[in-house]
Amino acid sequence: FQTFEGDLKWDHNDITYRVLNYSPDLDGDIIEDAFRRAFKVWSDVSPLTFTQIYSGEADIMILFGSDDHGDPYPFDGKDGLLAHAYPPGEGVQGDAHFDDDEFWTLGTGVVVKTRFGNANGAVCQFPFKFNGRSYSSCTSEGRTDGLLWCSTTTDYDKDKKYGFCPSELLYTYGGNSDGDKCVFPFIFDGESYDACTKEGRSDGYRWCATTDNFDKDKKYGFCPNRDTAVIGGNSQGDPCVFPFVFLEKTYNSCTSNGRDDRRLWCATTSNYDTDRKWGFCPDQGYSLFLVAAHEFGHAIGLEHSTVRDALMYPMYSYIEDFQLHSDDIEGVQYLYGSGTGPHPSPPMPTTESPDVSDKTTTTVTTSPTTTTEVVPVDPTTDACKVKAFDAITEIEGQLHFFKDGKYWKASSARPGAIKGPLKISDTWPALPSVIDTAFEDLLTKKIFFFSGRRFWVYTGTTVLGPRGLEKLGIGKDVEKIVGSLQRGRGKVLLFNGDKYWRLDVKTQVVDKGYPRDTEDAFAGVPINAHDVFLYKENIHFCKDQFYWRMTPRRQVDQVGYVKYDILNCP
Amino acid sequence: APLQSQPQVRVTFPGELVSSISDDELAESYLERFGYISKRSRSNTHVSISKALLQMQKKLGLNETGELDQSTMEAMKTPRCGVPDVGN
């Protein structure tokens, strides 16, 4: 392995990263997951941690761009240079850039994540069978609205599992329209457009207006690439048009005719001979995960390795079951040490452990040679010493923080003033000590408490319950409800991590069509959040001592500490 | 399969980056881009290219011939990271 001259490295281990934009080739969730996994490659073998932030300057800023993309090192079109990254430091240092003239996949061809349908966002399975015919790409067959769909199993006829494919007719990404679909035709600069366009931009990204008049409304988004979008040529990102005419012959699929390099291409209008618009058909593409893991190696201080099988070797090659090479591990550990590995375990006390059933322990070493003394600490006397609360919710305008039979109240009008601890049993005698989530129904002022598979409803001092979750229509496989979110008009969303339900508070039954996948509707928050609550109109997802704040338009705009930023602890 | 082979027509596609540079020019550009030769020392002399090729072949684990052989040319055409191999 090699390090940069002067052993450039970060002076802190808690590295932050921010994804500035996304490639049209892959769904945003898949891109973020690839980056998460790429960082994990390094955090598993070092003391480094990587946390995604959504605003401000991160240590590692990640962007997709092509050709001249804002630094002195332009990319070079398809193939050739795939990405580059800078060694640790301020400003552009530490940043990673990916060439968006490449076709980004997970290394084995187009990845089409579906939306809507009945497959919970699963990816398309190609080829799939529909009405006895085999399909190798998304199709609008069987529909009258022209929307592209695919089967998420190999046999739609048998399994009936499907979802809709990326299309500007369904949604956009980025821009300022919160994912709204394109509106066609739309007016831009006085001209009418019937399709996504690159006009008005110098970066080659295809966009559309999400109202009928961009000049007036200024609302826009970027068009996701269809699974048949071409790479390179003179129509990057435009979909193939089938059938197309080439040298007076009609083609219904990609062809290598006209070329002597056997590469498949298609026309992006119905007639190549007249329009001469074309591009290469999607190939295996490059694994964003593998390339990102390599670039992040640079971003933490590693240069290119001379070991051919090492991740830090400069040439790209696809590996199905990736494992970090010992040369890479030696490199990162040379800079940062070995860390605790992927599954750190708590330190073992050297004397007999006291009863820690309801307390955590602090280990105090009085001198290097004496026996270690274990001092129990009860964090529940001070809200600022609680690492993670069981539940947080707003009741009668005050935030309530629940933990192990106690709770605290904090007024948003007087930041820093915390009242408590108070005993849960003094205020709500029927409740158990651990509350998973709670919410106040804004219409009736009833307070719902959830613990395990049971729930209680308090109206003043009158209580109903406990009753089982099955009464709400929630299946027996659900262990508990960890979060709740008032949605107005007597509806509340109930979360158990990766799934959520919509509860009709009046009928006390969840609505049809639920559960749904949390990550589909609330992108960018941890799906294993242990608490979800509404505060000042924003949605908060908690994990450990952190929270992810999501605006009513479902954009994560802040990640912070519950203790410092919500409780206002010193 | 077609019963009789048809003459293959080769078309020049608009916008395609048709490489008109020679292997030597491509090699020099590669060696310069990835830090094996500096712009100043790019004097087209066979000696400096040969030395840089040796360095590149060693760095990338290729046969160290100092010549622009087929495996070296293939390596230069393989997709890769844009960070230089040598220098800053």
How far off is chain A from B32, nearest CA to CA, in Å? 13
Inter-chain CB proximity B79 and A315 less than 8 Å: yes
The number of angstroms, rounded, from the C-alpha of B8 to the middle of its chain's C-alpha atoms is: 28
More confident residue, A25 or A519: A25
Residue A415 binned pLDDT confidence (cut-offs 50, 70, 90) = low
More confident residue, A416 or A166: A166
Lowest mean pLDDT among A83-87, A426-430, A514-518, A526-530: A526-530
How far, in Å, are A313, A384, B69, B79 from residue A306 at the CA level? 6, 50, 20, 16
Q: Token pair for residue A490?
A: 């007597």
Q: Is A334 exposed, middle or buried (0-12, 13-18, 19+ CB in 10 A)?
A: middle
Inter-chain CB proximity B85 and A316 less than 8 Å: no
- Indicate whether A332 pLDDT > 90: yes
pLDDT digits (tens, 9 = 90+) for A207-254: 999 999 999 999 999 999 998 899 888 888 899 998 999 999 999 889
Mutate one of B30, B78, B80, B88 to test the A interface: name it (highest A CB count within 10 A).
Answer: B80
SS3 state of residue A215 = helix
Pairwise CA distance, residues A401 & A542, whole Å: 12
Q: What is the mean pLDDT of residues A33-48?
A: 95
pLDDT digits (tens, 9 = 90+) for A372-397: 333 333 445 788 888 889 999 998 88
**What pLDDT, on the 0 to 100 scale, is given for residue A404?**
85
Q: Token pair for residue A16?
A: 């932050």
How far off is chain B from A151, nearest CA to CA, in Å? 31
pLDDT digits (tens, 9 = 90+) for A133-183: 999 889 999 999 889 999 999 999 999 999 999 999 999 999 999 899 999
Q: What residues in chain B have their Cβ under 8 A from chain A's Cβ atoms? A: 8-11, 13-17, 34, 58-61, 75, 78-83, 85, 88
Inter-chain CB proximity B79 and A83 less than 8 Å: no
Q: Are A129 and A111 in contact (CB under 8 A)?
A: no
Beta strand spans in A290-372 (E): 360-364
Pairwise CA distance, residues A401 & A408, whole Å: 5
Residues 6+ apart with CB under 8 A from A240: A228, A229, A230, A254, A266, A267, A268, A279, A281
Residue A345 binned pLDDT confidence (cut-offs 50, 70, 90) = very low
The number of angstroms, rounded, from the C-alpha of A409 to the middle of its chain's C-alpha atoms is: 32
Mutate one of A259, A272, A280, A302 to test the B interface: name it (highest B CB count within 10 A).
Answer: A259
Residue A5 binned pLDDT confidence (cut-offs 50, 70, 90) = confident
- Beta-sheet pairing, A60-65 with A96-99: parallel
**What pLDDT, on the 0 to 100 scale, is given for residue A340?**
56
How far off is chain A from B71, nearest CA to CA, in Å? 14
Active site residues per annotation of A: 295
Q: Which long-range contacts (CB under 8 A, 24 or more apart) does A152-157 make?
A: A152/A114, A152/A117, A152/A119, A152/A122, A152/A123, A152/A124, A152/A125, A153/A125, A153/A128, A154/A125, A154/A127, A154/A128, A154/A129, A155/A128, A155/A129, A156/A128, A156/A129, A156/A130, A157/A129, A157/A130, A157/A131, A157/A132
Our separate counts of H helices and E strands in chain A read: 8, 38
Q: Which contiguous run of DSSP H or E holds residue A24?
A: none
Q: Token pair for residue A86?
A: 């800078």
Inter-chain CB proximity A77 and B60 less than 8 Å: no
Inter-chain CB proximity A83 and B81 less than 8 Å: yes
A162-173 exposure pattern, b = at least 16 Cβ within 10 A, e = fewer: bbbbbbbbbbbb
Q: Which of A84, A247, A308 has its CB closest to that of B81?
A: A84
Q: Token match 């070797």: residue?
A: A313
Lowest mean pLDDT among A91-95, A337-341, A344-348: A344-348
Lowest mean pLDDT among A306-315, A416-425, A537-546: A416-425
Q: Token match 């808690």: residue?
A: A14
- Number of neighbouring beta carbons within 10 Å of residue A258: 16
**What pLDDT, on the 0 to 100 scale, is given for residue A540?**
93
Peptide bond into A466 cis (omega under 30): yes
Chain B residues whose beta carbon lies within 8 Å of the beta carbon of residue A7: none
Start-to-end Cα distance in chain B: 54
- Number of neighbouring beta carbons within 10 Å of residue A34: 22
Predicted-complex ipTM score: 0.86
How far off is chain A from B75, nearest CA to CA, in Å? 8
Lowest mean pLDDT among A62-76, A176-190, A214-228, A478-492: A478-492
**What pLDDT, on the 0 to 100 scale, is given for residue A35?**
97
- Number of neighbouring beta carbons within 10 Å of residue A143: 11
Q: Token match 């040298």: residue?
A: A247
How much of chain A is in helix, strand and coil states, percent to nearest 5?
Answer: 15, 30, 55
How far, in Å, are A110, A191, A251 from residue A268 at the CA level? 18, 22, 12
- Number of neighbouring beta carbons within 10 Å of residue A82: 25
DSSP state of A289: H
| Of A221, A216, A183, A229, nearest in space to A201 by CA | A221
How far off is chain B from A74, nearest CA to CA, in Å? 9
Q: Are A118 and A84 in contact (CB under 8 A)?
A: no
The amino acid that residue A317 corresponds to is: S
Residue A358 binned pLDDT confidence (cut-offs 50, 70, 90) = very low
Cβ of A5 under 8 Å from any chain B Cβ?
yes
**What pLDDT, on the 0 to 100 scale, is given for residue B45?**
55
**What pLDDT, on the 0 to 100 scale, is given for residue A421?**
87
Q: Which of B9, B17, B83 has its CB closest to that of A258?
A: B9
Inter-chain CB proximity B80 and A79 less than 8 Å: no
Inter-chain CB proximity A79 and B79 less than 8 Å: yes
Cβ of A80 under 8 Å from any chain B Cβ?
yes
Residue A315 binned pLDDT confidence (cut-offs 50, 70, 90) = very high
The amino acid that residue A223 corresponds to is: C
SS (H, E, C) A368-426: CCCCCEEEEECHHHCHHHCCCCCEEEEECCEEEEEECCEEEEEECCCCCCEEEEEEHHH
| Of A160, A111, A157, A100, nearest in space to A138 by CA | A111
The mean pLDDT of chain A is 87
**What pLDDT, on the 0 to 100 scale, is given for residue A411?**
72
Query: Tens of pLDDT along chain B (88 residues)?
Result: 445 445 567 777 777 755 567 888 889 999 999 999 876 555 555 557 889 999 999 999 999 999 999 999 999 999 999 999 997 6
Residues 6+ apart with CB under 8 A from A6: none
Q: Are A132 and A160 in contact (CB under 8 A)?
A: no
Cβ of A258 under 8 Å from any chain B Cβ?
yes
Inter-chain CB proximity A295 and B8 less than 8 Å: no
Chain B residues whose beta carbon lies within 8 Å of the beta carbon of residue A5: 88
A242 φ, ψ (degrees, to nearest 5): -115, 140
**What pLDDT, on the 0 to 100 scale, is given for residue B8?**
63
